[in-house]
Amino acid sequence: MKRLLCALVLTFTGAAQAAAPALPGLGAELDKTSVSGLSSGAFMTSQFFVAYSDIMVGAGVIAGGPYLCAMSYPSNTFLQNATTTCMNPLTASTAPPAEHLLTLAKGYASKGEIADLGNLKNDRLYVFSGKSDKVVSTLVVNQTVAFYKAAGVPDDAIRYDTSVNAGHAIVTDAPKDTSCDVTAPPFINDCDFEQSTRIIEQIYPGSKGPAATEPKAVAFDQREFIKSSNTSMSDTAYYYAPKACLEGKHCPVHVVLHGCLQGEKVIGDKYYNGTGYNQMADANDIIMLYPQVQPSQLSPFNPQGCWDFWGYSSPDSTTPDFYSRNAPQIKAIYQMVERLASAPTNTSEVGQ
């Protein structure tokens, strides 16, 4: 019995020692935060972007619908809207109704559940829909652009690209990745350009091209930011901070949100180390933050490891909150950004 107890203690101790370190404070520029994502990460991009528009300067939406998309038609459940209206509506008339969703958003802003929508007018957007994307159709992505234009984002602040024969994927310039027009795991496609470069250049005008480096993101313990048992968020997430940002420079933060079946538990480091964001970080002194979601089969039911844009993470399933500042996933991501913006901690042992 004593040997068994000792073995259990040693196992527990080893597991504790193996936990990733805490996310450090780096004195980041909170009011220059931005966010981008693919698919469910793109839907979450709009949710995080709109909810916290008071700290945002821009967003990149790859194959994603407008804010509050799952509320498009009251006759449907949120899940029905998410899996039909927000994916592949039959006609433009059954696509997400941008004006209606903006009206809902104004109501949430008036109640203080999200930031003032007037903040969006000074922001910059990159929006993308692949010509071969049959998962989230261009009919849906069109309404993302319509929503932001109706909210006051100027036309010249939006770069909307529908010209590339891409499948449902984030785009790279890497021959090792999936062919451009294919939709298949890991949903990272070679279309002869780096989408991360275009996103950062659009959001931060004057940005330099990617550095000729091979930077690797650093693990941190994501558990301290998770305040609900239903988030489907992983224990570990990642960030990358260039040397200057570790040594006292006040750098902006760009949040990168993977899509379904793209978290580390499914594809390893391909998203946070293989999509070019870290090279843009090195070239432009930007901190990259990579929150992680993983598949969950029971509570919550999230078998593909998608970000929540229809309500699975909410404790109250009758009135799910997946869109406001208090939504479990949105709040967790904000607190990560807030930590990075806090007073610098000792980064002498932080890996690169």
Q: Among residues 45, 103, 39, which one has the least CA distance to residue 71? A: 103
163 is catalytic: no
For strands 236-240 and 218-221, give the pairing: antiparallel
Q: What is the DSSP string of 251-264?
A: -EEEEEE--TT-SH
Choice among 36, 39, 46, 72 that is catalytic = 39
Q: Is 168 a catalytic residue?
A: yes
Q: Contact, 54 vs 115, CB < 8 A?
A: yes
* Catalytic-labelled residue, pool 123, 129, 133, 296: 133
Residue with tokens 């469910």: 40
Burial 73-90 (b: 16+ CB within 10 A, else e): eeeeebeebbeebbbbbe
Q: Which residue blocks in the chain are alpha helix, DSSP H?
A: 2-18, 40-51, 78-80, 98-110, 138-150, 195-203, 243-246, 264-267, 270-274, 277-284, 328-341
Q: Which residues contact 64 (CB under 8 A, 6 or more apart)?
A: 37, 38, 39, 40, 41, 42, 43, 45, 46, 136, 140, 141, 144
Q: Which of 129, 168, 254, 313 is catalytic?
A: 168
CA count, 13 A, side-chain hemisphere, 13 = 6
Considering only CA atoms, which of 119, 123, 118 is closest in space to residue 154?
A: 123
CA distance 133 to 119: 31
> Catalytic residue numbers?
39, 133, 168
